[in-house]
Amino acid sequence: MKQLMGASVVGEVDKEVLFWTKEGFLLCKELDYAGYWKTEALSREEARHWCEVKLSANEYREIFGAA
């Protein structure tokens, strides 16, 4: 699941991976049973908040510019 066609990984923390595609942001969470993932579409603001909370300040700046 960590590879989606045409998607770029924005950030990965623990069992969560945030992807960006032309259609928008997609948050994938690995469930407790192996091989299963829960996915949900995020708005740009929700993705920005996820990055702000989960990523380091340097990683956040690389993605969204000046903090």
Our count of domains for the chain comes to 1
Domain span including residue 23? 8-64
Of 1, 47, 51, the residue nearest 23 (C-alpha): 47
pLDDT average, residue stretch 13-27: 91
Task: Confirm whether 3 is domain-assigned.
Answer: no
Q: What are the pLDDT digits (tens) for 23-61?
A: 899 999 999 887 899 999 999 999 999 999 998 888 887
Task: Confirm whether 56 is domain-assigned.
Answer: yes
| pLDDT for res 2 | 52
Of residues 66 and 36, more confidence is placed in: 36
Of residues 54 and 64, more confidence is placed in: 54
Contact present, 8 and 20 (Cβ < 8 Å):
yes
Contact present, 36 and 30 (Cβ < 8 Å):
yes
Instruction: Give the bridge partners for 67, in sequence order.
Output: none
| pLDDT for res 4 | 60
Contact present, 10 and 24 (Cβ < 8 Å):
no
